[in-house]
Chain A
Amino acid sequence: MRRAFRGLVLGVALVFVVSRPVLAQENPTVRAAQAAYDAFDLAGAIRTAREALGEQLSADDRAIALELLAFSYGVLDSTRQAVDAFRDLIFIDPNREPDVNEVSPRITSLYASALGQVLVVRRASVDSSSFISGQGVVPINYSVSRPSRVVTRVVGQGFDAVIDSQLVAGTGGLRWTATDDNGDPVPVGGYQVLVTAIEGTNEFAVSLEIDIRHGTVDTVSHLTSLPGYDKLAEMESPPRDWKPLGISVLYAGLSTGAAYALANPDLGDNWRGGAMAVSLAAITTGFIMSIRKPEPRPVDANIRYNQLLDQQLAQQNLQIGLDNERRRRQVRLTVVQVVVDNGGRP
């Protein structure tokens, strides 16, 4: 029976150890603790991890040692010690937590229990963003382990201001305009965003490094035409017209016919040659005017339509000009969170 229980414990431990992510330990004692844990020597792992915690460790090694300690206590069902170890781990690295997909629910619950006992700000981040000053915001997100008042402060480049203060339970966040009291964009340079959670006498703060840059705002080109609206031809050639020939034949026929009809036959016909010549010239003129390519004529409706388009275009370009003038005075702010090389934590 005792052997069977030991086998069960070792089996559970095997699941924990095999599924744990491999971490890079620099300290030899931490490496020894890791080796003992990997060899299912939980007592040895606890002892060695405690020894390591007594040494000068990097933040990562300290976190690994505490994690080994918490996992080992958890496997051995030492709840209080496991929670204590997780609590110390949370203070060192609030963002480090067991992967729920790879550890047992018991370990997860031990971690959650530890998290519920402390006040920390976790998953604090500043989203990189780029926007025109006064027209955008910098998203700042975080979560707190316990309901608390969270005060956010930005410091740097002579700028120091509390930009937000609110009661938060769980996840919180804010939108910072990155402007000063006058509405002007904050100066170029590095800044610290300090997110402090306060609960009674408990207080926990995280610091995020951000870099703010200034840039010019793109201007918009003037329009040369309205998209979707083409100008219409202001001059159009009318179709060929035989009216000039008709008129000339009518006039020539009328006059010469009348002259023939009313002429005095007793007085000869010397006049006929000249009259016929002029009539022929008139008809020829009419014929030429009819077969001549019609001259383009202005189309009033199209002219008025084009005038409307021009007015619309001028209005839009005027608006673009005013916008560009405003844009030239504007500043494009680019905010980037600086990743500090401290073991992957922001």
Chain B
Amino acid sequence: MKRVLVGLAAIAVFAIPLNAQSLRLAVGVAGVSFSEVSEGLQYDGAGGNAMIDFRFGKFMVQGEGYVARLVPDPETGLTEDVDFRQIDVRIAYFISPALAIQIGGSGREATPDNSTTNVGYGRIGLISENRLGSIARIWVRGAYLPNPKFSGGGSAEFAFEIGLGTWIGTSNGRFGVRIEYDFQRIDRQVKDVDVPQQMMVGRLSFEVGF
């Protein structure tokens, strides 16, 4: 294990940057705030996250996920913690240097199974990314989440997410820190009964780029 870590560190430091393409890996902590049904059902918690971002020409493929243990708000009267696991996939095509169209999908599940609803959904939206000089960049993204599927049934016609992130690092892009959040609202209805969900995932990650 130690050798593997040393090898990875050596690659991170000495690997030659790729031309016209880049690969970025990030790991860090994630903070999650989740509400469902009403204000009385809120969870907050923290965990870890990882991200891989590969770019080739005008294309970007990004996958990220987190695991977090959420604790119910004391005012809710709930006592059982919930573990969240979520994976997001984004494929984007930059139609201009600062604007890309994204599609993708996500899946989120909670443990214990009946604590909250597992959900899977597609994603279609826009990403705008800009450099703030040679050592920083910023991005904002918004997406409509079409056709979400819930473990407990139901549907949602109105579902979207909004995200903001910034990165600051070395001028060669090898090392950096990224901080970002994604806000998500899904207006689920089950048999004409509103069962909405709202979630915010914040991430603070250390990134290595090649």
Contacts and interface: CB of A to CB of B under 8 A. Distances in A.
Question: Do these two chains really belong together in a complex?
Answer: yes
Interface of A: 244, 247-248, 251-252, 254-256, 258-259, 262-264, 266-268, 270-271, 273-275, 277-279, 281-282, 285-286, 288-289, 292, 294-295
Interface string B145-158: 00000000000000
A279 to B, nearest CB: 6
Given A267-B198, A271-B198, A275-B183, A289 B132 contact: yes
Interface string B181-210: 101010100000000111111100000000
B122 interface: no
A73 to B, nearest CB: 108
A247 B130 contact: yes
A264 B136 contact: no
Given A264-B196, A274-B202, A278-B202, A252 B164 contact: yes
23 contacts: A247-B130, A248-B166, A251-B140, A255-B164, A262-B160, A264-B35, A264-B187, A266-B38, A267-B197, A270-B42, A270-B44, A271-B33, A271-B35, A271-B198, A275-B181, A275-B183, A278-B180, A278-B181, A285-B136, A285-B138, A289-B132, A289-B136, A292-B133
Nearest to B158: A262
B36 A281 contact: no
Contacts of B201: 274
Given A248-B138, A285-B132, A263 B164 contact: no
B73 interface: yes
B132 A244 contact: yes
Contacts, number: 115
A263 to B, nearest CB: 7
SS class, residues of chain B in contact with chain A? strand
Contacts of B38: 266-267
A251 B136 CA distance: 14
B81 to A, nearest CB: 16
Contact of A258 (B42, B142, B199): B142
Interface in B86-128: 128
Contacts of A254: 140
A175 B206 CA distance: 87
Contact of A275 (B132, B134, B166, B200): B200
B164 A244 contact: no
Contacts of B33: 270-271, 273-274
A252 B132 CA distance: 13
Nearest to B139: A251
